[in-house]
Amino acid sequence: MTPENPGRLLLGVSSLAALAILAAGCAVPASGSSLSTHTSPKSQTAQKSQADRSLGPQPGNRLFPRTPATRKTSDPVPAWAAAQLARVPATSGQAVVVTAPSMSSTSDTVSLWARTGTGWTETGALMPGHNGEKGWSAHRTEGDLKTPTGVYTLTAAGGRLPDPGTRLRYQYSQNYFHTAGHFLGHNTFGVFNYVVAIDFNRVAGSQVTSTAQPWGEGPGGDIWLHVDNGAPTLGCVTVAQASMVTILKWLNPGQHPVIVLSAG
């Protein structure tokens, strides 16, 4: 029962929140939410200005790729991308490709790819981000602080901020997605402003806050793509808030989008 098992090809991995004190899952909503089954961390006061600022590494940051921001459509697909895109099911027309240099890496690069009649075309700029504090795993277990490798569908989104214009099913809740705390010395306020559920050990198509784990509790769950705060995560994948908006607007459920998580 691993992400690489052909029978599990399109399901995703992980668990854990973006907060310092967590029992399970990348997603840990605020207390008082009728949707939550998790225990929330101690709430901390956050300045209003934090709600609107863009979180995560920005262009010029050392994590930002030095490769060109965009490729010409006539350019051949680079080898690193071609190897990952070859894993995408023929039924999928969009792929979010996340690549890291090694299985111990805590930072990565995210790129968007659309299938055309002649192959794959990269969309927009490369985006820097973070992943699990302990790197990556092809056989993830609950609490190992690792991001799963594999190919998983993307079928639901949500966040503490209103829908920015995505075509995915979107669940808006200021309470459920509220975070206030610190993890690895970084403020976690706003990390769940926008989230896309990675379909690892979850029911594809269910709302993003669904806690159902069809594989059981062993692999964990609640692995999300969400807003970066400049630090590794408990298992999720992150990009800057502006990049999250770009991704949310780009994803089209009619194209059966997937995310490819790879390292090494």
Tell how strand 136-137 and strand 186-187 pair up: unpaired
- With cut-offs at 50, 70 and 90, classify the pLDDT of residue 150: very high
- With cut-offs at 50, 70 and 90, classify the pLDDT of residue 76: confident
Q: What is the pLDDT of residues 250-263, one digit of tens each?
A: 999 999 999 999 99
Would you say residue 34 has pLDDT above 70?
no
The secondary structure element, H or E, covering residue 243 is: helix 241-250
Would you say residue 139 has pLDDT above 90?
yes
| Mean pLDDT score, 226-241 | 97
Whole-angstrom CA distances from 110 to 81, 90, 131, 162, 177 are 11, 21, 11, 24, 23
Domain positions in the chain are: 6-42+99-263
The length of the chain in residues reads: 264
| Mean pLDDT score, 201-211 | 95
Segment among 67-71, 85-89, 190-194, 235-239 with least mean pLDDT? 67-71
Q: What is the pLDDT of residues 12-32, one digit of tens each?
A: 333 333 333 233 346 544 433
Q: What is the pLDDT of residues 162-185, one digit of tens each?
A: 999 999 999 999 999 998 899 988
- With cut-offs at 50, 70 and 90, classify the pLDDT of residue 10: very low
| Mean pLDDT score, 64-71 | 43
Per-residue model confidence (pLDDT) at position 60: 37
Percentage of the chain with pLDDT > 90?
68
Cβ 193 vs Cβ 177: under 8 Å? yes
Per-residue model confidence (pLDDT) at position 53: 30
Tokens of 217: 């509790």
| Mean pLDDT score, 40-46 | 35
**Strand-pair partners of 155:** none
Of residues 131 and 21, the one with the higher pLDDT is 131
**Strand-pair partners of 99:** 109, 262
Would you say residue 68 has pLDDT above 70?
no
Mean pLDDT rounded to a whole number for the chain? 79
How many CB atoms are closer than 10 A to CB 179?
A: 28
Q: How far is 248 from 118, CA to CA, in rounded Å? A: 25
How many CB atoms are closer than 10 A to CB 47?
A: 8
**CA nearest 222: which of 128, 158, 138?**
158
